[in-house]
Amino acid sequence: MMSSASPQPHPLDPLSAVELTAVRTAVLASPLISDQPISFHYIGLDEPDKHDVLSHAYGTLPRRAFVVARAGDQSHELCVDVTNTSSPTVLSHAIHHGAGYPRFTVAEQAAASVLPHKYPSFVESLHQRGLDVGDVSCSVFGGGGGNTKARLTKMQCFVTSEATANYYARRLEGMMLVVDLDRMAIVGYIDRGVFPVPSAEGTDYRADKVGPPFTGPAVMPGVVVQPEGSGVHIDGCVSSVISLASIYDADAGKRRQVHYRGFVSEVFVPYMDPGEEWYFHTFLDAGEYGLGMSTFPLQPGSDCPANAAYMDSYYADADGKPLEAKNVICMFERYAGDVAWRHTARSSTEVRPDVTLVVRTVVTVGNYDYTLDWEFKTVGSIKCVPMRNTRDPTMGGAETPRRSYWTVRREVAETEVDGQVNINGTSADLLFVNPSKWTKVGNEVGYWIVPAGATAVSLLSDDDYPQRRASYTKKQVWVTPYNKSEKWVSGLYTEQSTGDDGLASWSSRNRRIKDEDIVLWYTLGLHHVPCQEDFPVMPTVSGAFELRPFNFFERNPLITMKHPGNANFPNCSCHI
């Protein structure tokens, strides 16, 4: 996901519309790619070195883009300098010779979707079912793994002739097409016979189709009001990546960085059905379709509350041209009536309200909608979970003479293999500490992981192609030494990959992580067994984890927080 231009971009700001245009100009003018046409599958920021970014020497750092393009049945990788957008330069060029292919473009999905309508065998199959080509729509699905000779995709079709938006519920079972995307031609077709098509009755979820009358629970409208203005100031560019998050430490009198970069690396959706038309339903939504390209405008008052600010963004289409995406990210302060901390003693009560900064985007890939939240709390935690409050008695530890509650055994991960953890069934706390920084009491400063459900792991066999492509799903926690080139846990070339590039492959080197600059990879997992309440649209389910301060501060950072007071508004009535 890209952003609009700013006068002085931060080194981690995504590429602006002007920079995207400059990238396109440089690539199309370069003699390094002789084949035509050129299709752009990825254009993203080529990040500067982390040390340079943290040095704050912003004005001296170059702006560069990393590009993956297809031409002549080959995947090309280019690095383009766009520091001077009037004179962009291609700095390097290479051809990808490994397994896998880049993500689909919207243009080639659209081109492939009409191929079945002109394929005689498919048209004949429709006639056998009493259908015409105008009654169906076809979608591009990932081809799965194992093939390395051609860029193939599989297509399935749905009945769209009746008035329902929920056409994914009306699939043409038993039919499948195989398409060569480079040739843009159908190269395989299966029709196992005629199966019943589910009725359209009751499948629509749109309000004007469901009612009136509306017989469900009544939800009264609510309005969030901040009479003294918002506590959030938005300055800079929009991105689907959270960069350089920090928290103000009142005792230290300065802001302290909490983490460097955070983003969703991959989403694995295996249907786990061995049937011919279902086995390949093992989607890697980020690597095959692109999450940023799959965002849609957020709906004020429903996707985000009334006090939200909205941000537009940009991404490059298959021709390399920047496309604007309106209102795809919102940011707001959440006042949910939660308590940040409280205590009552001797008839005296102290309590502070909890306020959370939420950054939200919604991604729709096929029949799945993902609401992705980054939540930042004033206590210093990231990714909010239901809050727990307690007073802290003096508990026994490994170095404490009186071990009154439990015994703590400290185990330090030395290498990547040591840092691979399955959270299920373990009572261990996972801490990340800086051994070179200590509190005044003598504790290493750090953060700890607090899981909040959704800790399921993959049930697929390790040698199964879908599992090889998404091998990161076997562990909830991975830790690697920082390497800016290691971003995508299922590899850069996800489509039809074989699993030889990705998190598990990187970690097989078993590099040292103790006393190193490290990266935490956390996997959320849900096993979905459909139930009647999921029809026609599944209610939202969520999973989360929290990165919570652990001896990061000298004390509770909210002790010095001033109570905001109560905002009273006059009661209003309306008589009609």
Closest CA to 492 of 182, 243, 263, 265: 265
Encoded amino acid at 251, one letter: D
Query: For residue 241, what are its two tokens?
Result: 């990546």
Closest CA to 567 of 338, 301, 227: 227
Examine the residue annotation and report whether 447 is marked as an active-site residue of this protein.
no
Ramachandran assignment for 19, one of left (phi > 0), alpha (psi -120 to 50 degrees), beta (any other) = alpha
Q: Which residues of 304-328 are buried (b: 16+ CB within 10 A; e: fewer)?
A: bbebbebbebbbbbbebebeebebb
Q: Please state the separation of Cα 349 from the chain's center in Å.
A: 41
- Distance CA(549)–CA(506), nearest Å, equals 28
The tokens 């300098």 sit on which residue?
A: 81
Query: From the CA atom positions of the chain, what is the Rg in Å?
Result: 26
- Distance CA(12)–CA(245), nearest Å, equals 12
| Cβ proximity of 2 and 15 under 8 Å | yes
Residue of 204, 285, 354, 501 with catalytic role:
285
Query: For residue 570, what are its two tokens?
Result: 């006059």
Residue of 368, 369, 370, 464 with catalytic role:
368
Give just the sign of the alpha carbon dihedral 526, 528, 533, 534. Answer: positive
Closest CA to 479 of 549, 414, 411: 414
For the chain, helix (H) and strand (E) counts, in that order, are 8, 23
Query: For residue 322, what are its two tokens?
Result: 């920047």
The tokens 């026609």 sit on which residue?
A: 536
Examine the residue annotation and report whether 285 is marked as an active-site residue of this protein.
yes
User: Which whole-number Å values give the CA distances from 331 to 17, 205, 255, in the listed order?
Assistant: 22, 27, 21
- Distance CA(191)–CA(204), nearest Å, equals 28
Report DSSP letters for 124-175, one per residue. Answer: HHHHHTT--GGGEEEEEE---SS--SS-EEEEEEEE--SS-S-GGGSB-TTE
- Here the contacts of 116-123 (C-beta below 8 Å, separation 24 or greater) are 116/155, 116/157, 116/177, 116/186, 119/177, 119/186, 119/189, 121/189, 121/191, 122/175, 122/177, 122/186, 122/189
| Cβ proximity of 559 and 250 under 8 Å | no
- Distance CA(142)–CA(153), nearest Å, equals 6
Query: For residue 20, what are its two tokens?
Result: 């995207």
| Active-site residue set | 285, 368
